[in-house]
């Protein structure tokens, strides 16, 4: 069971009132409750982080800070618009976001605060699928769909079905073909889109596959050490 820390908006406002506190947070780096964004480039992608915080213990997204913790500044109104679109249209149920703008040394930082929610939220990905994320340390982590997982358990299936037969296996396929997409792998394995995506992403995590995005589609390729 996940213990959720409920923080009221008024407390958050008081805690975030001083710029010195924000810089202290930035110095600490990204963690379970804090994420940095240089700017919001995609409503789909930021929705994952919003949902992950809402499904966990809540958190803050500081926009206008790069991954190394350097303040680069943003157009606060533009970033706020992107965040609101993500929270309303790309999160289900919608997630309420409270904003604080801080100006310092001619740079503007936007702080988006997301409270822990009692509801289960999902984010809409670029393929039109609603996915469930939680926050684990400094990452927004995809978790299995509960209905899909129940189906897998019922039929004694593993949630990550990797082909083991060398003749028609994924690794063999990628030795002959440069890339494979999620939909291609889904058809190869005769599995759902969600399971196919998680399977490929797990192979990326364990360094078997690499991943690139081309023309808004994820392409997975075999890493060099597995090409032998």
The per-residue pLDDT for range 78-121, each reduced to its tens digit, is 999 999 999 999 999 999 999 999 987 788 999 999 999 988 89
H or E segment at 175?
Answer: helix 170-176
- Give 183-226 pLDDT, tens digit per residue: 888 878 777 667 777 788 888 888 888 888 887 788 999 887 65
pLDDT at 154: 42
- Give 46-80 pLDDT, tens digit per residue: 999 999 999 999 999 999 998 778 899 999 999 99
* Size (the chain), residues: 228
Strand partners, 37: 63
Taking each helix axis as running N to C, give the angle between helix 146-154 and helix 193-205, from 0 to 180 degrees, rounded to the nearest 10. 90
CA–CA distance from 213 to each of 32, 218, 220 (Å)? 27, 4, 9
Please check whether residue 109 is in contact with residue 70, taking contact to mean a CB–CB distance below 8 angstroms: no
Fold match between domain 9-142 and domain 144-226? no
CATH classification of 144-226 is 1.10.10.10, yes or no?
yes
Residue-range domain boundaries for the chain: 9-142, 144-226
Q: Residue 34 — pLDDT band, cuts 50, 70, 90?
A: very high
Distance, in Å, from the CA atom of 105 to the CA atom of 70, rounded to the nearest integer, reads 13
Q: Residue 167 — pLDDT band, cuts 50, 70, 90?
A: very low
Query: CATH assignment of 9-142?
Result: 3.30.950.30
For the chain, give the mean pLDDT. Answer: 79
């Amino acid at each position: 069971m996940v213990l959720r820390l409920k923080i009221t908006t008024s407390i958050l406002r008081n805690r975030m009132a001083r710029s010195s506190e924000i810089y202290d947070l930035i110095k600490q780096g990204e963690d379970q409750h804090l994420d940095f964004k240089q700017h919001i480039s995609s409503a789909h992608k930021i929705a994952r982080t919003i949902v992950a915080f809402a499904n966990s213990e809540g958190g803050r997204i500081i926009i206008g800070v790069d991954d190394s913790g350097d303040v680069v500044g943003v157009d606060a109104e533009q970033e706020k618009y992107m965040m609101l679109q993500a929270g309303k249209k790309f999160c289900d149920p919608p997630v309420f976001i409270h904003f604080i703008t801080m100006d310092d040394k001619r740079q503007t930082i936007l702080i988006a605060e997301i409270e822990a929610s009692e509801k289960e939220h999902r984010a809409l990905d670029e393929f039109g699928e609603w996915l469930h994320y939680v926050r684990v340390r400094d990452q927004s982590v995809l978790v299995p769909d509960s209905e899909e997982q129940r189906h897998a358990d019922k039929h004694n299936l593993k949630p990550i079905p990797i082909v083991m037969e060398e003749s028609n296996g994924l690794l063999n396929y990628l030795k002959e073909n440069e890339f494979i997409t999620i939909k291609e792998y889904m058809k190869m394995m005769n599995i759902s889109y969600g399971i196919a995506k998680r399977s490929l992403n797990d192979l990326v995590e364990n360094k078997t596959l690499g991943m690139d995005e081309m023309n808004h589609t994820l392409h997975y390729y075999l890493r060099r050490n597995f090409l032998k």
